[in-house]
Structure 1
């Protein structure tokens, strides 16, 4: 092994090694500066915008309801004609550039959930890698860089790894005790705003609304980080559904009513947090994750032969082993079978 490393370093000597070294230094600097954007956003917010004042939050919800009731000719006929008491908030993976970038499989999946559950609406425009819910194209300084990477062709297409690295730093912020609370409040604010945009949230429903945070990859950590603040702001039953998601086992587990983790047989990514984060270790019995597992609020299920992403991922449109079932179709079946769609359904531990 040592000889292999020596040969590799010898091969990379000169300008190539310098280039790799420079890239490593830039990534470290990037990671060090990553929290600054979140902190700048935080100091620019007011207590009202963050939902820290309960009276203001109630006024905000009531004003949204009044605006909806006074509007005519709504484009959303479903919202106008149905009793909506369920919100499905989708939080995408680290490879996404913006909320406008949903894959065809993701769109199909969310469209089908709405059709299967007419009392639910889907919220698709929360970008989990920005506390301000701002896509990479909306960031003035680096917008040209992100847009160029997104539109690159050929071998330059591999530069999209920079987007993943950038979003992974945001995942790290969401899992960091120092910045996670700030980031979680920002995402919770974005979720409430976009929920109201899709269909106004009642400030005093007869029963708690059914709020389902459905995420994949790093979006699950972000969703869990927002759970405590959504609990404070909304009269809701909070469920988190992870499709190959990664999370630290701390944030959100003390507050979420239920957490479901679906993992594909060929997806190795969700295994990494089990090793990296101490809260996920079985013997840390006092961690929020293990407490939720012991209380029956955390449920692990195998989703099938899914990979983490791609044509055979959870939203892949390829057929499974020559059958008529697609990978996204199988994901839809598994999620639709979860006992989360009615408040009267009894949750059982698989």
Structure 2
């Protein structure tokens, strides 16, 4: 009976996985061929950045790249609580949360008519779409195109949010789960377009380690012993193994560009996740507060407030 049930599951989900694999590749190929232009406009009354006022340079621009739950411009994984906490605790930052890490064309998944229909009838398909996009972004055949597409999307959103290329104001890429694949891949394109100091912070990052992050000043890996999803990424991607010394990840390790910060006893998802407002630590803070405090402390430790009209001090 169990074998029959598994067979039915495979028969049912197999075509869905195949369709998603093909659709995930379509966007990056459409971008490369110039068939469709990436979107740049946001919904009415939605700002390109929140936090520090646009009339003077902020200490840094922080771009939040959400995990596979990202389906619209608004932050979806936690209802925007992490971004809101960062803005409240660090008013010197300008924060962008609208980037679509799983769309090379920058089109929100939930706004497409076919996906609205599917969401009401087969929500699993939405989940699988973004999962497949991670593997497309990690595939050596598509990775350069995907990295250029999303890196350019981030650069465009930063310019629209007031960033001046060459200003010297730091850009921090904060990524959750699969967003780390996109963040590490965007480094080269962002450097090429903006010439900005770049920091990467991964939170439970799921990424293959193939991307060259030598242009980044540093990568902070926020993790926890109970985060089995992040561990899975380290197991299934050979470029994260020490054996592959020439991979982007291992070159960064040898260059001293990687710092690991433990956020135990947090988990990847669930009531004890990194961004849980309910789970409490012995000091009384929630997991969400501890994560936000850690990110802000890392930024403040490395970034000095910018002088008006010039680079950071």
Question: How would you bin the TM-score normalised by the shorter chain?
Answer: 0.7 to 0.9
Residues 266-303 of structure 1 show CA distances to partners (whole Å, capped at 9, x for unaligned) of 21111112211111111222222111111110111111
Residue of structure 2 in register with 1:145 after alignment: 118
TM-score, normalising length: structure 1? 0.76
Larger RCO (CA within 8 A; separation ≥ 6): 2
Query: Among residues 178, 190, 195, which one is paired with 2:141 in the alignment?
Result: 178
Partner of 2:163: 201
* Structure 2 residues without counterparts, runs of 5 or longer: 39-48, 306-313
Contact 2:69–2:76, Cα closer than 8 Å, also in 1: no
> TM-score of the superposition, structure 2-length normalised?
0.84
CA distance in 1 between counterparts of 2:274 and 2:160 reads 27
Q: Equivalent residue for 1:164?
A: 127
Indicate how the Cα distance of structure 1 residues 306 and 161 shifts in structure 2: closer, same or farther if over 3 A, else same: farther
| 2:206 matched residue in structure 1 | 246
Instruction: State the Cα distance separating 1:38 from its structure 2 match.
Output: 1.8
From the two aligned structures, give the one with the greater helix fraction: 1
- Quote the Cα distance in structure 1 between the aligned partners of 2:203 and 2:192: 25
- 1:190 shift after superposition: 1.6
Match of 1:102 in 2: 76
Aligned to 1:34: 24
In the alignment, which residue of structure 2 is the partner of 1:153? none
Partners in 2 of 1:278 and 1:103 — Cα distance? 28
Are 2:4 and 1:44 aligned? no
* Structure-2 separation of matches of 1:101 and 1:279: 30
Gaps of 5+ in 1: 1-6, 51-74, 150-158, 346-350
Deviation by residue 1:109-154 (Cα, 9 ceiling, x = unmatched): 32333344343200010011101111112334433213x25xxxxx
Match of 2:60 in 1: 86
- Native 8 Å contact 2:72 2:111 kept in 1: no
Contact 1:195/1:201 (<8 A) preserved: yes
- Tell me the matched-pair count: 295
Matched, 1:218 2:178: yes
Classify the secondary structure of the residue corresponding to 1:142.
helix
Instruction: Verify the 8 A CA contact 2:61 2:93 in the aligned structure 1.
Output: yes
Measured in 2, the distance between the counterparts of 1:300 and 1:76 equals 28
**Residues 323 and 131 of structure 1: CA distance in aligned 2, closer, same or farther (over 3 Å):** same
